Amino acid sequence: MKLKSNIGYSAVAAAVAVACGAAYAAVPVGPAASFSAEGNATAPATAIYDAVITVTLGSDYIANDTVELGLTGASFVTGTSTLGTSYNGAVTCGTSGNTATLGFLSRSATTANYRVTGVAGTQNNAVCSFTLPIARTSLATAGAVPTVSWTAKTAQSGLVFDAASRVATVGSVTTQFTSPSAVARLDGVVDVDSGRYQFETDQGSDLAGSEDSLSFTLQNNTALNGAAVLTSVVAVINGDFSFVDGGNTSAGCQAADLTSGHGRVVATNGTVSINSDCTKLTFTATAAQVAAGAAKVTLGVSSTSTTPTTGGLLDAPQSFTVDPLTYSYAGANTGTTGSSSVAFSSTGSAGSWTLNGSISKIAYMPYGTGISRIVYITNRSTQSGGVSATAFNDAGVECEIADVATAAKGAVTNLSAGLDAGVAACYGASFNGKVAFEITANIPGDKAEVYSAYNVNGNRVIVVNDTNGKTVTAGATQN
């Protein structure tokens, strides 16, 4: 079979490609730009990203062949009348007499179309360079990798040839704000020798007494293209911060409590506030403070006193958490604002405090007519210490009993009366049900033992606890 001479090489290439499985293929290459998702989301609708795409041709072309660049995962700017010749003018592929000239035809949101208007020599391996306007706001999804493909069609029959063997990326999108790094979590040991008014070991120099700190580096990747302008970061830390209460005469925790009295909380590269329930610390940092270095919240006491006149005990054991952080930002040179919620860590953990004293768990104590409790603590140490308790009834209601008794040094102390008074105050004088106790004594844990039993109608029943032979879980009750 003899080919007609006016069919041209592109038609032959298309036929060969169909028969041989795309033996000729153009190779597009795009920029490796990385954009801020937050910056793109707050960019003006007219913001344009000039993506420079190069394509190495895999075949020869003839006049009136057409080519199409297809965009996936983003959109082209389509208002061509105001964009100038750099977007709409002719593109010359190749040099030294082996060229193809492409004239601009049209552009939609996802395609840019050109027609071959002139050729010289052979175009195989010639390189074309396109400057394509991509709408910044269409690149708003973090993790997105928009791509562009290349397809050519023959002038006479519209057969596809020189289809790209791969697509080129035109940029990637990533979040500008990520979880804090280099986190130093709270890990202080509350000291019973100080009456639980000090940490066993001082871990810093921000406060005059002893302290423990939570520190973390806030992430703001300003190197991303189109980065948003950070305005503030807010982190909420959850825990029992009642040790600061008492710095002023107002009920509950107030701002003045953080900077006066025995208990203190201070912030580095940020500011800190507290809610009236003493359960939340709110850390806020400006963009300048984020850039200044690691954020830090220090919890502790203002003196080495073990008998302060203001402020409460350091509560331990307890765990601390941090809610997802809120990053607030604005678009560069725009009035558009936004915010992102960023996890503090996979668990949100800010650490925990432990106690170097005695903690005993009694899983079951009954209350009702004809029942009495027999609970004693043996203190074999040379130190006397206060005893407090947390109660859990069979309805799951938790109750704090602050002053159960004082465990005298080298003695056996009755805890029954104090526990019963606390139960009556929490659940009512006629309470009938089951209660579990977690008993904390400000004495060395290895020198303490709790005896627990109850008497019902003249019969004594011993209750096993975790200091006399068995580990139990506070909050659980026996049937």
- Domains of the chain, CATH where assigned: 9-174 (2.60.40), 181-354 (no CATH), 356-462 (2.60.290.11)
DSSP H helical segments within 77-174, as ranges? 85-88
Q: Quick one: which H or E segment has residue 50?
A: strand 48-56
CB 269 within 8 A of CB 294: yes
- Residue 161, strand partner residues: 152
* pLDDT at position 86: 61
Q: Which two tokens stand for residue 31?
A: 């920029």
How far apart are alpha carbons 336 and 328 in whole angstroms? Answer: 11
pLDDT of 362 reads 96
AA identity, residue 397 = V
> Do the Cβ atoms of 150 and 111 come closer than 8 Å?
no
Residue of 174, 224, 167 whose CA lies nearest to 53: 167
> Residue 195: what pLDDT?
80
Rounded CA-CA distance 211/195 in Å is 15
Contact (CB, 8 A) for 326 and 222: no
Cα(403)–Cα(422) distance, integer angstroms: 9
The CA distances from residue 456 to 37, 350, 371, 403, 435, in Å, are: 68, 45, 5, 26, 15
13: three-class secondary structure by DSSP: helix
- The SS3 call for residue 176 is coil
pLDDT of residue 85: 54
- Here the tokens at position 393 are 């009834």
Q: What is the pLDDT of residue 475?
A: 43
CA angle centred on 472, ends 470 and 474, rounded to 5°: 155
Q: What's the confidence (pLDDT) of residue 470?
A: 54
Kindly state the tokens that stand for 157. Answer: 């029959």
Model pLDDT for residues 112-138, shown as the tens digit of each residue: 999 999 999 999 999 999 988 888 888
Report the C-alpha gap between 322 and 286 in whole angstroms.
18
* Predicted pLDDT at 479: 37
All residue ranges of the chain with pLDDT < 70 are: 1-24, 79-86, 469-479
pLDDT in tens, 313-366: 898 889 999 999 999 999 987 779 999 999 999 899 999 999 988 999 999 999
Give the Cα separation of 170 and 50 in Å (integer). 10
pLDDT score for 88: 73
Residue 338 has a pLDDT of 95
* pLDDT in the model for residue 6: 40
Mean pLDDT score across all residues of the chain: 89
Contact 404, 418 (CB under 8 A): yes
